[in-house]
Structure formats: C-alpha cells, structure tokens
Amino acid sequence: MKKFQTKVKLSGHIIDSLTLPKTLDEILEHGCNYEIEEIKVGKNRSDTSSALIRISSDSQKALDSTLHRILKLGASQIEEKEAALRTTTSDGVFPDDFYITTNLPTRVMIKGKWLTVKNICMDSGIKITGDFRHALCIKMGDVKKGDMIVTGHNGIHLTPMSRMRHSGIFEFMGSTVSPEKSKWLAIKHIAEDLKEVRSTKNGKILFVCGPAIIHTGARGYLESLILNGYVDLIFAGNGFATHDIEACLYGTSLGISLKEGAITKKGHEHHLRAINTIRKTGGIRQTVKKGIIKEGIMHACVKTNTDFILTGSIRDDGPLPEVVSDMKEAQRLLREKFKDVKLCIMIASMLHSIAAGNLLPASVKTICVDINPEVVTKLSDRGTCQAVGLVTDAELFLRELTNHLIKKAD
C-alpha cells in the first residue's frame, strides 16, 4: 500500500480529447500509480464524461509534482473525508451504524492518513487503536467497552476485485463455476499455483476438506501431498478426521470397504470404535505416537508437523479430542491460523468451505472443488466472490493434482 495518496476528478470530453489517457500517462511518468475508482461515460457525443482517480506514491514530492501537472490538465483534487469513530459502551456490542466490513482490502482515513485494515474478513467491524496508528478487523464478540469503532461510510476505501489481478488458474477459468472447461488443464494450473506458493514460501496453502475425500478413496493422494510439503494447514470437521482414522484402523469409511466398495460386517460400528480408540489415547497425535495409526491423512499431518484445525458441529459423534466445539473459540483459532494463507483449496465440504470463505480476505486465491456446482454458487452468494469452482469428483481432482505435483517432483 502506497504511503501518500490523493483523489482527483476529471471531467469534460475526456475520452474524445484523450485527456483521460493523457492524465494517466502523466501520473505514471511522474512515478505515481493510479486506480480509477469510478468512471461515467457520456451517452451521446455532446455528453461529457467523468472519472474519479486515486493517485498513490511512496513519495510526497512525486505526488506533488504529479498534481502540479495534472491540475493543468483539468483534474480537480477531491478532499478526502475522515472516517467517523465512536467509542463502544459495552463489551460485545458495536456502536449503532458501525461500518460492516467486506473481504476486500480496506483502508480507512484516520487523522489525515490512510490506514490499511489488518486481517480483513467479511461481516466484522473496524477498530482503531488508541494511538490512531492501526486499524484492525474485529468481530462483534471480541469488542470491548471503550474500543474506537469506525462508523458510517466516509473515509473508507476498498480495492475492487478486478484490481487484484489473480493469475494462473484464475486467468484460465475466467468464470466462477466452470463445468465445461478441461479438468486436466484446470488442475494443471492449480498445480502450478501450488508449486509457486510452496517455492516462494510467502504464504500458507490451506486445504478445506470434506468426508468425500475419504469416501471416494482419495486419501492416499492427499496424504502424498502432505508428505511432499504441499499442505500447510488443513481445516475440516470431526467426520473427516474420523473417516480417515477408520480407514486406517478398519479399511472402511462409514463401514464401506474402501478396497471392495462393499458393506462390511458390523461396519457401522467402525466409526464410533475409531473415535473411541482416539479418545482412549487422549488424541490423534498420541495415537500416532503410539503407533496405533500407521498411515493416512491425519498420520501424515502429525508426522510432518502439518497444522490441522478440526471444528465441531451439532451432529458430531464423540467428538475427537482435537475437535474445537466452542464456536467462538473455533472462529478465533481459524482467524489466527488463516492470517498468512495465500492459496485455499476447498474440496467437497460445503459448510466448512463457507466458514473458511467468511474468514478469508478476497485477496486469497480460493478454489472450490465439488461435484455439485451449487456449492460454488452458494459460496459466492455468501460473499466469497473470489472463489473459482471446479465441478468434479474429489478423487479425480486429487489424483490428477498429485500426478502433476509428485511425479514431476520425482
């Protein structure tokens, strides 16, 4: 985020006169950057057009010399309004008309300076620290009496999605849900993105996993990805981890043999017996250490020290000791762990995917893989507009992804 910024308006026959491209050229030539926040184009030849342009620079001198020049080209400087602040009067309650965040990169104007809101995620408020130097995204439940909270809509700036220029799979897919594009190519692009994030080490790769990964027999592929360092964090529920452990202990997933696809005698008991085994040893990590679990996804996580977060639901059996059932605590934990996520792959898990989407900023590349296209639609409807969808079976996806990554690595 550039340190010095200002906003100008350009109006007139700025398109036919080429005043708009000329002004943009001047901004760049003076070493500044621009962002067109709004443009209104006249409908007829005689109608004038207008554009609101935000100019930013690391140097006040460059910004001043740009302004000196473009004011002559007809630009008028627009005074930026300060964001309004109100102090909270009780814990867990925002002031009336508090500003509700989106997942887009957000800045607020405080004491004449633009502050970037840290850890932005949707459906939260913005807290300003006592020294007026930091802006933090804050959930309703975390508000404390006396916090300064941004209210209204003045002095708030969002960077639109189109400006984020996601590359790789995002350029390839184009549309949000794409059942009609080549799966093989799409998965190849995703593999490239994974490799890039892993090699540059500038962020985490998050996998949000649903039980279908186990049911469809794809656990071996995900295990390989973990063992090869392509997964930094797994977010799933009690069911997912239990099915994986059941597969390890009994060779079944919800009682169905993963090798033969047949119902196993007393298979329905395997699920609860698996949970009970883990609870008896005190947790997944302890079970792995004792050698009771010898392979599988959870085993790979423990062995490679890959982080995993399991959160509970009302239907959970057990649950496993690692499952966080306090939802407020689960949200806090997820926000903490999601801070450095750069790439998120959601596979066959609608509820956990929507939950993850709610906590991730729009700048995180998000890919949703599901056999049901409605899952991606639902994810977008809930505000995770950056997600691109791949409509396919979990096993096919993970098999192809592993083939691209592991074979080539070998």
Partner 1 sequence: MTSVLMCPPDFYAIDYEINPWMHVRNKADQKKAKKQWEDLHNIIQNLGVKIEIINPVKSLPDMVFTANAGLVFGRKFIKSNFRYKERKGEEKHFTEWFDKKGFEVFTIPRAIHFEGEGDILKIDDSFFAGYVIRSDIRAHEIISKITGKRVLSLELVNKRFYHLDTCFAPLSDKTILYYPRAFDAFGRKVITNNIKTRIPVNAKDAARFCCNAVTIGETVIINSRCKDAKDNLKNHGLNVIETDLSEFIKAGGSAKCLVLFIDNC
Which listed range, 66-74, 85-93, 182-190, 203-211, lies at the site for partner 1 (CB under 8 A)? 66-74
Q: Residue 230 half-sphere exposure, CB side, CA atoms within 13 Å?
A: 24
Query: Minimum distance from CB of 25 to partner 1 (Å)?
Result: 8
> How many residues contact partner 1, by CB under 8 A?
16
C-alpha span between 100 and 124 (Å, rounded): 6
Helices 350-359 and 373-381, packing angle to 10 deg: 30
From the list 5, 19, 159, 392, which residue makes contact with partner 1 (rule: CB under 8 A)? 19
* Encoded amino acid at 383, one letter: G
Q: Count of residues for the chain?
A: 410
CB burial of 153-189 (b: ≥16 within 10 Å; e: otherwise) equals eebbbbbebeebebebbbebbeebbbeeeebeebbbb
Q: Does 39 bind partner 1 (CB under 8 A)?
A: no
**Which one among 1, 3, 18, 167 touches partner 1, defined by CB under 8 A?**
18
Asked if 22 is part of the footprint of partner 1 (rule: CB under 8 A), the reply reads: yes
Q: Between residues 16 and 260, which has the closer beta carbon with respect to partner 1? A: 16
Of 347, 366, 323, 332, the closest CA to residue 203 belongs to 366
C-beta of 79 vs 131, nearer to partner 1:
79
Asked if 217 is part of the footprint of partner 1 (rule: CB under 8 A), the reply reads no
Of 48 and 60, which CB lies nearer to partner 1 in the complex structure?
Answer: 48
* 72 forms part of the interface with partner 1 (CB under 8 A): yes
Q: Tell whether residue 46 is a contact of partner 1 (CB under 8 A).
A: yes
Binding range to partner 1, per CB under 8 A, among 13-21, 147-155, 178-186, 215-223: 13-21
Using CB under 8 A, pick the residue from 3, 28, 33, 48 that binds partner 1: 48
Q: Does 43 participate in binding partner 1 (rule CB under 8 A)?
A: no
Told to check if 199 binds partner 1 by CB under 8 A, we report no
Q: Is 41 in the site for partner 1 (CB under 8 A)?
A: no
What crossing angle do the helices spanning 19-29 and 60-72 adopt, rounded to 10°?
160
Report the nearest approach of partner 1 to the CB of residue 206 (Å). Answer: 47
Burial of residue 236, with CB atoms counted within 10 A of its CB: 0-12 exposed, 13-18 middle, 19 or more buried? buried
Instruction: Compute the least distance from the CB of residue 44 to partner 1, in Å.
Output: 9
Q: Which is nearer to partner 1, 28 or 262 (CB)?
A: 28
CA terminus-to-terminus distance, the chain: 40
Q: Quick one: which H or E segment has residue 344?
A: strand 341-347
Shortest Å distance, C-beta 38 to partner 1: 17
Q: Are 245 and 308 within 8 A, CB to CB? A: no
Stretch that binds partner 1, among 51-59, 68-76, 185-193, 254-262 (CB under 8 A): 68-76
36 forms beta bridges with: 53
Residues pairing with 209 in the sheet: 347
Residues of this chain that bind partner 1 (CB under 8 A): 11-13, 16-19, 21-22, 45-46, 48, 72-74, 76
